[in-house]
Amino acid sequence: EDQVTQSPEALRLQEGESSSLNCSYTVSGLRGLFWYRQDPGKGPEFLFTLYSAGEEKEKERLKATLTKKESFLHITAPKPEDSATYLCAVQIFGETSGSRLTFGEGTQLTVNP
Partner 1 sequence: DTGVSQDPRHKITKRGQNVTFRCDPISEHNRLYWYRQTLGQGPEFLTYFQNEAQLEKSRLLSDRFSAERPKGSFSTLEIQRTEQGDSAMYLCASSPSTAAYEQYFGPGTRLTVT
CB of 17 to partner 1, least distance (A): 24
Comparing CB distances to partner 1, the nearer of 54 and 95 is 95
Range 66-71, long-range pairs (CB < 8 A, 24+ positions): 66/33, 69/24, 69/25, 69/26, 70/22, 70/23, 70/24, 70/25, 71/22, 71/23, 71/25, 71/33, 71/35
Per rule CB under 8 A, is residue 91 in the interface with partner 1? yes
CB of 62 to partner 1, least distance (A): 16
Within positions 31 to 70, which residues make up the interface with partner 1, using CB under 8 A? 31-32, 34, 36, 41-46, 49
Residues forming contacts to partner 1 in the complex (CB under 8 A) are 4, 31-32, 34, 36, 41-46, 49, 87, 89, 91, 96-106
